[in-house]
């Protein structure tokens, strides 16, 4: 086991000449929960997509558990993605499948589990997040909070080593944010390594081991939640926090 | 009449308003009926007043001629049904395979992609009747070993090739209609490109294109008559034979009625499917 779960070093990424990441460095330790904060366009989503290999970096390296270089052209990205789960802002559940099949599909097709095994595991996971009653529903019958919890369960069913959350509560009715954050809190307590982009500052303060403030495509300031939220060193961090905390 | 207490858990509609709504619906139905009947009467009077009407009635709507030729037409129509039933599944297979070939991204598949694109470009560009002529008269002349030389075989093949190109484009549009975030979600779970297509993209794509596909099927039902140019005695050919022996065009009207009898139920079914999928999409919302 290497010292860190994920090492991001000097990652650059631009879209049609517009720079989004500009040599970003970030390290996540095993079982750590790291929260990314920053204004829209600061590069949070792009960073998460680079880590999952959904977007190719222009320069730099991203190494998982000290051994798997996600940015290498020789890496089997399908294999890499098995080890890294991601949950999106807009759930992206498969609308033509029941909740149960949404969760059981990848373990069956990618990990080669038997149908019975994958279904049993999916039911157990759904039950763990209070969704057992929804197993046979289709996604269009779910509330936003339920849909997002199913998306978390779906990613979790692949037993990833690292989970990425891309502003998973931003599309939700404020009344439904709590149940989704509760699910993330439970993952944190179970010891999974998490990287989360969020605007929920209260939640970041509560669960994060480390908070990173992104601005203009780099981590401008990082530290424990106490330091970042109570005694930020950089003027930009103070300004951002003053704006979002009102 | 007293309304229930506000806040109680009942659905309440004011009975007076309900009566008014009913009354209005009845009135609208009556107006619609009256207008339709008036329209039909006016058109009938105008047509029957035209100087040529007695002759047209005799040559196109001759009851005796109709009764005599209709059973023969129905018999001949069975060939159209057979051509349709054989062509339809083949068209679906060709269309789906070609659409899939056009979505392949790996460089090794470049020849497949080029072939698929060429096929669609060529067969969409040539009128179906011309494809039938070229295949039906041209290929048998090659004396290919192992291929049947029958007109029905080559006529059906021509229909499959011509419609396959259209249906491939319908499928391709369907694949494009599945939001890219679905692919992203599938890939993020470790599914391969092929698995993503097979389990996530295609099932949604096919569902989205059922209404336009049904539309193409209706069109195919009619175009089975084009095979007549090669000689097989299907319904249009039979009608032609009948008319040339009696100099009466009623068999054409009979043939038209047979086609309509088959396409109208299919059209209503297509409408129903379209309505249903539109309703689902509205209910589906932000998944």
Please give the Cα distance from A130 to A71 (Å, whole number). 37
Q: Count of domains in chain A?
A: 1
d(CA A207, CA A227): 14
Count of positions (residues) in chain B: 287
Residues 195-234 of A with CB under 8 A from B: none
pLDDT at B287: 45
Residue B273 lies in a domain: no
- A86 CB neighbours in chain B (<8 A) are 188
Q: Are B132 and B229 in contact (CB under 8 A)?
A: yes
Query: B280 pLDDT band (50/70/90 cuts)?
Result: low
Predicted pLDDT of residue B1: 55
A42 vs chain B: nearest CA distance in angstroms? 21
What's chain A's average pLDDT?
A: 94
Q: What is the mean pLDDT of residues A75-96?
A: 93
Is B208 part of any domain? yes
Average pLDDT, chain B: 89
Task: Determine the structural domain holding residue B88 and report its residue range.
Answer: 81-229
| Range among B50-54, B122-126, B269-273 with highest mean pLDDT value | B122-126
Which helix (H) or strand (E) segment is B59 a member of? helix B53-60
Nearest-by-Cβ selection for A109 from B182, B195, B207? B195
**CATH code assigned at B225:** 1.10.3720.10
Residue B65's nearest CA partner among B274, B239, B199 is B239
Burial of B31 (0-12, 13-18, 19+ CB in 10 A): exposed
**What pLDDT shows up at residue B106?**
85
Mean pLDDT across the stretch B97-122?
92
Residue with tokens 């990173």: A212
* CATH classification of the domain holding A59: 3.40.50.300
**Nearest chain B residue to A159, by CA:** B189
CA pair distance A170, A165, nearest whole angstrom: 11
Instruction: Domain count for chain B, please give it.
Output: 1
Q: What is the mean pLDDT of residues B116-131?
A: 94
- Give dist(CA B173, CA B189) in Å, integer: 25
Chain B residues touching A110 at Cβ < 8 A? 189-191, 195
Minimal-distance CA residue of chain A relative to B205: A96
The pTM of the full predicted model, rounded to 2 decimals, is 0.82
Q: CB A94 to CB B187 under 8 A?
A: no
ipTM attached to this prediction: 0.91
Over residues A184-225, the pLDDT tens digits come to 999 999 999 999 999 999 999 999 999 999 999 999 999 999
CA–CA separation, B12 and B15 (whole Å): 9
Name which of A58-62, A236-240, B143-147 the model is least confident about.
B143-147
Q: Return the residue matching tokens 């730099």.
A: A60
Interface check B281 vs A, CB under 8 A: no
Listed in sequence order, the residues at least 6 apart from A119 whose beta carbon sits closer than 8 Å to its beta carbon are A100, A104
Strand, helix or coil at A210?
A: strand
B207 lies within 8 A of chain A by CB: yes
Q: Please check the confidence at residue A3 and state whether its pLDDT lies above 70.
A: yes
Q: B126 pLDDT band (50/70/90 cuts)? A: very high
Dihedral sign (CA A225, A229, A230, A231): positive
pLDDT band for B281, please (50, 70, 90 cuts). low
The pLDDT of residue B286 is above 70: no
Q: Tell me the β-bridge partners of A193.
A: A162
Nearest to B180 by CA among A143, A111, A55: A55
- What is the structure's pLDDT at A1? 60
Out of B83-92, B180-189, B275-284, least confident range: B275-284
Residue A2 has pLDDT above 80, yes or no: no
Is B267 at the interface with chain A, CB within 8 A? no
Closest CA to B128 of B99, B167, B90, B160: B160
SS (H, E, C) B28-40: HHHHHHHHHHHHH
C-alpha–C-alpha distance, residues A145 and A168, integer Å: 10
A140 touches chain B (CB under 8 A): yes
Percent of chain B with pLDDT over 90: 58
Q: How far is A239 from chain B (nearest CA, A)?
A: 34
Domain that holds residue A71: 4-245
Q: Among B66-75, B138-147, B255-264, which is the least confidently predicted range? A: B138-147
> For the ranges A70-84, A197-211, B89-103, B266-280, which has the lowest average pLDDT?
B266-280
What is the distance in angstroms between the Cα of B264 and the nearest Cα belonging to chain A?
Answer: 30
**Is residue B182 assigned to a domain?**
yes
Cα torsion at A112, A115, A118, A123 (round to 10°)?
A: 170
User: Is A79's CB within 8 Å of B182's CB?
Assistant: no
The answer to whether residue A181 neighbours chain B at the CB level (below 8 Å) is no
Contact B182 A154 (CB under 8 A): no
What's residue A232's pLDDT?
93
CB burial of residue B150 (10 Å; 0-12, 13-18, 19+): middle
DSSP bridge pairs for A19: A14
């Amino acid at each position: 086991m290497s010292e860190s779960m994920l090492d991001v070093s000097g990652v650059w990424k631009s879209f049609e000449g517009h720079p989004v990441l500009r040599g970003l460095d970030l390290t996540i330790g095993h079982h750590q929960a790291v929260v990314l904060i920053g204004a829209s366009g600061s590069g949070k989503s792009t960073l998460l997509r680079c880590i999952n290999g959904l977007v190719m970096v222009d320069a730099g390296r991203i190494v998982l558990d000290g051994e798997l270089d996600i940015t290498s052209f020789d890496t089997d990205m399908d294999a890499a993605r098995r080890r890294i789960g991601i949950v999106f802002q807009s759930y992206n559940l498969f609308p033509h499948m029941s909740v149960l099949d949404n969760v059981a599909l990848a373990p069956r097709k990618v990990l080669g589990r038997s149908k019975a095994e994958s279904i049993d595991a999916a039911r157990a996971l759904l039950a763990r997040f209070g969704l057992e009653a929804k197993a046979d529903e289709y996604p269009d019958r779910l509330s936003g909070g339920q849909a997002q919890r199913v998306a978390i369960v779906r990613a979790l069913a692949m037993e990833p080593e690292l989970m990425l959350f891309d502003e998973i509560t931003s599309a939700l009715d404020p009344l439904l944010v709590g149940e989704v954050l509760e699910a993330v809190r439970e993952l944190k307590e179970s010891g999974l390594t998490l990287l989360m982009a969020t605007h929920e500052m209260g939640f970041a303060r509560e669960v994060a081991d480390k908070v990173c403030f992104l601005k203009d495509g780099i981590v401008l300031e990082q530290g424990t939640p106490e330091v970042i939220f109570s005694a930020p060193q950089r003027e930009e961090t103070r300004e951002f926090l003053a704006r979002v905390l009102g | 009449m007293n309304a229930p207490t506000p806040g109680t858990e009942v659905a309440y509609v004011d009975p007076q308003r309900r009566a008014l709504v009913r009354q209005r619906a009845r009135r609208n139905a009556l107006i619609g009926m009256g207008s339709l009947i008036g329209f039909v009467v006016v058109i009938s009077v105008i047509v029957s007043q035209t100087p040529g009407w007695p002759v047209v009635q005799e040559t196109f709507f001759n009851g005796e001629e109709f009764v005599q030729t209709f059973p023969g037409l129905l018999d001949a129509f069975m060939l159209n049904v057979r051509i349709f039933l054989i062509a339809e599944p083949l068209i679906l297979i060709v269309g789906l395979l070609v659409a899939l070939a056009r979505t392949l991204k790996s460089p090794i598949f470049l020849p497949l992609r080029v072939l698929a694109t060429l096929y669609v470009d060529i067969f969409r560009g040539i009128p179906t009747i011309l494809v039938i002529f070229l295949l039906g008269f041209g290929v048998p002349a090659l004396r290919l070993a192992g291929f049947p030389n029958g007109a029905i075989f080559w006529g059906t093949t021509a229909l499959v090739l011509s419609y396959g190109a259209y249906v491939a484009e319908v499928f391709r549009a369907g694949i494009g209609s599945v939001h890219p975030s679905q692919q992203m979600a599938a890939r993020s779970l470790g599914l391969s490109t092929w698995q993503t297509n097979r389990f996530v993209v295609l099932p949604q794509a096919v569902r989205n294109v059922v209404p336009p596909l049904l539309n193409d099927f209706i069109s195919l039902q009619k175009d089975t008559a084009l095979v007549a140019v090669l000689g097989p005695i299907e319904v249009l050919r039979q009608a032609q034979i009948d008319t040339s022996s009696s100099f009466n065009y009623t068999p054409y009207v009979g043939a038209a009625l047979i086609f309509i009898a088959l396409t109208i139920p299919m059209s209503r079914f297509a409408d129903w499917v379209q309505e249903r999928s539109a309703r689902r999409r509205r209910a589906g919302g932000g998944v």
